Structures are given as C-alpha cells and as structure tokens.
C-alpha cells in the first residue's frame, strides 16, 4: 500500500480514499483558526482500520529493511519531492495551523532538510561496530530495525515534528504509521500523497481521525516503537498504552522554559531575539521561552522593551502579507491562554501589553507581556502555550536559578548576558535537556534533543534519534577456529 490518504481539501488534488467502504458522514471538519470557520474535512478513520494498516506496514518492512541503498535513494527523492511541493504544502499548513506563510515555508524546508540529513547520515550510523575489550573473540554490534513505528504528533509543527519521527525511523529501516492531530490533518495528508510517489507502498501510511484513533495506534500489538510528541498527560497515556505490547517508547512532551537575564545583559541588544524566542508560532512551541527572570535593577527596562515589541507586532491571518503573528490554533487552546491570563490579572499581575482576546473573528489573542505576576500563578507554573509572557524580578542569581528549576518540566532554558563564561556557568546549573546562551530554541538537525523530568523519555535528533529506532544485534565469534584435535 502507498502512503495512504483520505478526505479532500478544497482546491487540492483529490487523494485516494482510506481503505474500506465508509458512509459520507465519516469525516471531521478542519477549521481555519484565522476565521474560526470550516474550510476542509478529513476522513475519521475507525480504530479497527488500524489492523489492516499496521499489517500492511509489517509486510512493507520486510522489503524496506533489506536494501539500505534503495532506502537512501528513496529518502533523497523524498526530500526533493517535498521541496517541489512547497508551494502547495505551505499555504495549506498556514490555513489549518495559523502561522505566517513564511514560517510554513520554513517548516516545509526543514522537513526536506531532515529527510536529506538522515539519508546522508544513516549509512555511516548503521555500520557494524567492533567491540574491542581484550578478549580473544571478535564481537561486533550490528544495528537492526524494529518494525512498524507509530508516530503521533501535535498541531503546532505538524510537518516538522512528523518528519522528526518518520525521517530517522525510515532511514533506520522501519516503516511508519503517522497520525497527525485532528486540528491539522490536511498538510500531513498532502505530504503523504507527495511522498507516495517516491516511497514504496506501505512504508509511510497517514491515518487521520479523532480519538480513540491515537490511543488504539499507541497500543496496537503490531507496533514496535511508539514515538509521540504532545502534552504530558497524553504522553503518560501513550506509555500506558504501549506497555502491553512492550513496544519502545519515545516521548517528547511539554516544557516551561525559563530565560534568566544576568545583570550585565544589554537589554536593547537582546530584546528582539528574546521576544521572538517566546512569541514565534504564537508561543505554541514546546521549547519557547515561557518565563523571563530579570534582575530587579533592570526589571522595568526588560518589561518595557518586551512590551514595546508586543505592541508593535502585526497580528493577522497567516496568509496576509505582513503578518508577524497568527492566531492561536484552536478554540480550546485560546480558552486556556485566556484563562491563564485572566487568572494572573486577577492575582494582581499587570498587562504591560495585551492581556485580552482580539475583537475579531478567529482565535486571535493580543501579544501579552505580564509584569508583577505572583510566582505561583498558573501562567508561571504551567505551560501556557500561547502568546503570553510573564516577566519576574529577582535579587540574586541563586534565587533566579532555583526559580527556573522549580518546575516539573525540564525541556530547555537559557541565560542571557555579556560575560559568556559567567553565562555558561549559570546555564550549566539549569535542569533541562538543552541550555542556550543569548538565544533560545535553536536546534541543529545533528544534535540530540531530549527533555528531562516530565518533558520526555528517549532522544530525538542526530545519530541518537536514528538509534532510538534501532536495536543492537551482537555477533560474537572466536577470532580463529582451531580444527578438532588441533594444537
Ligand atoms: P496532545 O497531547 O493533546 O495531542 C498530541 C497528539 O496525541 C495528537 O495527535 C492527538 O490527537 C493525540 N492523542 C490524543 N489523545 C491520545 C491518546 N490517548 N493516545 C494517543 N494519542 C492521543 O497535545 P497537543 O495539544 O496537540 O500539543 C501541544 C502539546 O505538545 C504541548 O504540551 C507541547 O509542549 C507539546 N509539544 C512538545 C514538543 C517536544 O518536542 N517536546 C514539541 C511540540 C509540542
């Protein structure tokens, strides 16, 4: 079976329908967050359809795992195909997700780059490795693929996060069943259609539907690795679901990253980068800056610099030229952002910018900078995942680092200052997977990405991400076989 698609979006080529007969009612609506109105639909696949899909992925695996050269060629072709389809993929992604068109183009480019990265690097990573431990035997580690992989992703970066899962899984020799969020199924479905021209049947299958489709996929006995990105509660449910089949589990979960500004920071110099580290993609980034700790002496300057940028930001539909910040992706998320903000304001916080929904159709929220926020306010202690940034003052650095680490999350963090050695020393005290100095949330394809505490289990990115899709197989033999009775 090829990368299977279902449903139809206006203005797009019709994709093959999902397997099995279904009534016309078995679809769900896809909304444009810039208007709040329905603009497309996707097929609501039933959980029992996964049996056939996973069986097909298992059959395809037998051939896909056997020919690394063919895989490399197919993955390079996949990267080219994604790039060639950018003019169709990017506007559709913006339409269903909300982000500015330029950011959607960046997401498509990153998807292609990731395919190319793993096509290039997998052959080296898959080389057998000798174990030299002084014994008179030759031991060698070979790397074997796992089987069908379930990839389940959220709505904030539908293509980029999907490719972070399927590119290494496919390069390692596995096949993949990919389930996008029901909020953003259409660009993923189109991506599957594009890739079906270059990947063998059954190697990458897209399934769309509402819950319990994801729960059933995570728990399916034919799946050998569940790789999930999303919230902490759903991550726990996924791990429980995969427990019965003892499938490998990789979880990339939420974050509540702190940015700690040191007393030698040049506020105006870093303000743009700090602002966009928090507000890019409307704050819907797992490793966005979600709290800022500023020295008391600089506190009002930092609040003012961020508030000025928030007020100057052009908010609008992602397809409108000039838009810098789109809408929040969906009504539930908007309600959450609004609730966090109004609770902070009720607790005595001050909105230095924004603080409210925008009075227009769609899910727009004014870019918001909050000052004088109580440290126990949910906008500080939880993941707001929206265009709202609390700024908190501190008196000494130990206090700031303790506050930064006082969270169940451990995804990323950053320290900002002029003395880079001092900043690096402070960054080393952050309890997280990635610590940046004078920037935040920048990742190379070659580096590992892993959260600690509630932010995740397992590693994505680079050769480590590839190896998360493999198992070691050790071949152990004497260096030299002596004939029977030989000396
Ligand atoms: P979510 O956990 O609600 O959903 C994620 C995916 O899981 C969706 O496809 C959803 O349909 C599916 N799902 C829902 N219930 C399921 C179940 N019981 N079993 C299996 N799958 C199920 O997350 P969301 O609201 O779509 O995304 C926002 C969250 O994702 C935030 O917490 C954010 O921090 C996190 N995130 C993390 C990373 C990372 O790399 N650490 C990256 C992006 C987003």
Question: Is 459 part of any domain?
Answer: no
Residue 358, number of CB atoms within 10 A of its CB: 15
Question: Is 486 part of any domain?
Answer: no
Ligand 1 centre and the CA of 476: distance in Å? 42
- Residue 328 sits at the vertex; the CA angle it makes with 345 and 356, to the nearest 5 degrees, is 25
Ligand 1 centre and the CA of 230: distance in Å? 2
Kindly report the protein residue whose alpha carbon is nearest to atom 15 of ligand 1: 234
- CATH code (residue 336): 3.40.309.10
- CATH code (residue 194): 3.40.605.10
- For residue 281 and ligand 1, the question of a CB distance below 6 A is answered with no
Ligand 1 centre and the CA of 270: distance in Å? 31
Could you say which DSSP state residue 460 is in? B
Kindly report the protein residue whose alpha carbon is nearest to atom 42 of ligand 1: 286
Q: Are residues 394 and 415 in the same domain?
A: yes
User: Measuring CA to CA, which residue among 221, 254, 251, 256 is closest to residue 237?
Assistant: 251
- For residue 214 and ligand 1, the question of a CB distance below 6 A is answered with yes
Question: Is 470 part of any domain?
Answer: no
Q: Are residues 263 and 235 in the same domain?
A: no
Q: Are residues 79 and 192 in the same domain?
A: yes
Q: Are residues 368 and 291 in the same domain?
A: yes
Q: Are residues 303 and 375 in the same domain?
A: yes
Strand partners, 370: 351, 390
Distance (Å, whole) CA 240 – CA 222? 16
Distance (Å, whole) CA 191 – CA 187? 6
User: Measuring CA to CA, which residue among 64, 137, 93 is closest to residue 474?
Assistant: 137
Q: Are residues 112 and 241 in the same domain?
A: yes
Q: Is 484 a known active-site residue? A: no
For tokens 């940028």, the residue is: 309
Residue 348 Ramachandran class (φ > 0 left, ψ -120 to 50 alpha, else beta): left
According to the model, what pLDDT value does residue 24 have?
Answer: 53
- For residue 179 and ligand 1, the question of a CB distance below 6 A is answered with yes
Ligand 1 centre and the CA of 323: distance in Å? 26
Kindly report the protein residue whose alpha carbon is nearest to atom 43 of ligand 1: 286
Distance (Å, whole) CA 284 – CA 275? 14
| Sign of CA pseudo-dihedral 374, 377, 97, 270 | positive
Question: Is 10 part of any domain?
Answer: no
Question: Is 451 part of any domain?
Answer: no
- For residue 154 and ligand 1, the question of a CB distance below 6 A is answered with yes
Domain boundary among 206, 231, 252: 252
According to the model, what pLDDT value does residue 23 have?
Answer: 56
- For residue 317 and ligand 1, the question of a CB distance below 6 A is answered with no
Ligand 1 centre and the CA of 338: distance in Å? 20
Q: Which of 210, 220, 234 to mutate to test the pocket of ligand 1 (most atoms within 8 A of CB)?
A: 234
Question: Is 21 part of any domain?
Answer: no
User: Measuring CA to CA, which residue among 119, 41, 125 is closest to residue 73?
Assistant: 119
Domain boundary among 208, 234, 252: 252
Q: Are residues 272 and 237 in the same domain?
A: no
Helices (H), 280-396: 299-312, 331-346, 378-381
* Segments of the chain with pLDDT less than 70: 1-25, 481-487
Question: Is 453 part of any domain?
Answer: no
Question: Is 22 part of any domain?
Answer: no
Number of folded domains in the chain?
Answer: 2
Domain coverage including residue 332: 257-437
Q: Are residues 126 and 167 in the same domain?
A: yes
According to the model, what pLDDT value does residue 9 have?
Answer: 32
- Measure Cα distances from 327 to 283, 366, 414 in Å: 10, 9, 26
Q: Are residues 50 and 133 in the same domain?
A: yes
- For residue 387 and ligand 1, the question of a CB distance below 6 A is answered with no
- Measure Cα distances from 355 to 307, 312, 342 in Å: 11, 15, 8
Helices (H), 221-324: 232-243, 267-279, 299-312
- For residue 182 and ligand 1, the question of a CB distance below 6 A is answered with yes
Mapped onto helix, strand or coil, the DSSP state of residue 356 is coil
Kindly report the protein residue whose alpha carbon is nearest to atom 10 of ligand 1: 181
According to the model, what pLDDT value does residue 479 have?
Answer: 82
- Residue 361 sits at the vertex; the CA angle it makes with 357 and 364, to the nearest 5 degrees, is 35
Could you say which DSSP state residue 104 is in? H
Q: Are residues 239 and 286 in the same domain?
A: no
CA of 333, closest atom in ligand 1: 25
Q: Are residues 201 and 60 in the same domain?
A: yes
Ligand 1 centre and the CA of 353: distance in Å? 29
According to the model, what pLDDT value does residue 186 have?
Answer: 98
Strand boundaries in 326-455, DSSP class E:
350-353, 368-371, 388-394, 412-416, 434-437
Distance (Å, whole) CA 42 – CA 133? 55
Determine which one of 252, 304, 399, 484 is catalytic: 252
Q: What is the pTM of this model?
A: 0.94
DSSP run (H or E) holding 159: helix 158-171
Distance (Å, whole) CA 82 – CA 84? 5
According to the model, what pLDDT value does residue 235 have?
Answer: 98
Residue 393, number of CB atoms within 10 A of its CB: 20
Ligand 1 centre and the CA of 308: distance in Å? 32
Beta strands 368-371 and 350-353: pairing type?
antiparallel
Distance (Å, whole) CA 360 – CA 7? 30
User: Measuring CA to CA, which residue among 242, 236, 40, 28 is closest to residue 146?
Assistant: 242
- For residue 103 and ligand 1, the question of a CB distance below 6 A is answered with no
List for the chain the helix, strand, coil content (%; round to 5): 40, 20, 40
Q: Are residues 420 and 326 in the same domain?
A: yes
Domain boundary among 437, 455, 478: 437
For tokens 């990789």, the residue is: 250
């Amino acid at each position: 079976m090829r990368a299977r698609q279902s449903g139809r979006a206006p203005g797009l080529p019709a994709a093959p329908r999902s397997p099995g007969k279904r009534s016309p009612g078995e679809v769900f609506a896809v909304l444009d967050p810039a208007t709040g109105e329905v603009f497309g639909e996707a097929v609501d696949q039933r959980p029992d359809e996964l049996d056939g899909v996973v069986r097909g992925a298992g059959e395809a695996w037998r051939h896909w795992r056997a020919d690394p050269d063919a895989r490399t060629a197919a993955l390079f072709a996949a990267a080219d195909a994604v790039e060639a389809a950018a003019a169709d993929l990017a506007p559709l992604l913006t339409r269903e997700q909300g982000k500015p068109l330029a950011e959607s183009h960046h997401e498509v480019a990153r998807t292609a780059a990731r395919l190319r990265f793993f096509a290039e690097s997998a052959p080296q990573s898959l080389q057998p490795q000798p174990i030299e431990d002084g014994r008179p035997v030759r031991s060698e580690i070979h790397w074997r693929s796992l089987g069908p992989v379930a990839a389940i992703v959220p709505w904030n970066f539908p293509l980029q996060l999907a490719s972070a899962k399927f590119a290494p899984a496919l390069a390692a020799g596995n096949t993949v069943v990919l389930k996008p969020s029901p909020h953003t199924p259409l660009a993923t479905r189109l991506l599957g259609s594009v890739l079906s021209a270059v990947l063998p049947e059954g190697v990458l299958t897209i399934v769309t539907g509402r819950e319990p489709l994801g729960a059933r996929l995570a728990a399916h006995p034919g799946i050998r690795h569940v790789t999930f990105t999303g919230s902490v509660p759903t991550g726990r449910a996924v791990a429980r679901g995969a427990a019965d089949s003892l499938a490998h589990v990789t979880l990339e979960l939420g974050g509540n990253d702190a940015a700690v500004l040191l007393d030698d920071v040049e506020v105006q110099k870093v303000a743009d980068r700090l602002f966009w580290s928090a507000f890019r993609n409307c704050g819907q980034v797992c490793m966005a800056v979600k709290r800022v700790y500023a020295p008391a002496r600089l506190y009002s300057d930092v609040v003012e610099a961020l508030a000025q940028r928030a007020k100057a930001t052009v908010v609008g539909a992602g397809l409108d030229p000039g838009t810098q910040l789109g809408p929040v992706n969906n009504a539930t998320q908007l309600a959450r952002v609004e609730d966090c903000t109004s609770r902070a304001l009720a607790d005595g916080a001050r909105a230095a910018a924004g603080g409210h929904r925008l009075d227009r159709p769609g899910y727009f929220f004014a870019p918001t900078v909050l000052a004088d926020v109580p440290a126990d306010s949910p906008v500080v202690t939880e993941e707001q995942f929206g265009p709202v940034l609390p700024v908190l003052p501190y008196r000494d650095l130990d206090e700031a680092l303790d506050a930064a680490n006082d969270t169940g999350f451990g995804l990323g963090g950053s320290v900002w200052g002029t003395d880079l050695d001092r900043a690096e020393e402070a960054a080393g005290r952050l309890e997280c997977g990635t610590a940046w100095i004078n920037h935040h949330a920048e990742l190379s394809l070659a580096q590992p990405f892993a959260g600690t505490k509630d932010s995740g289990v397992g590693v994505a990115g680079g050769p480590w991400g590839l190896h998360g899709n493999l198992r070691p197989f050790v071949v152990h033999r004497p260096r030299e076989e002596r004939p029977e009775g030989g000396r």
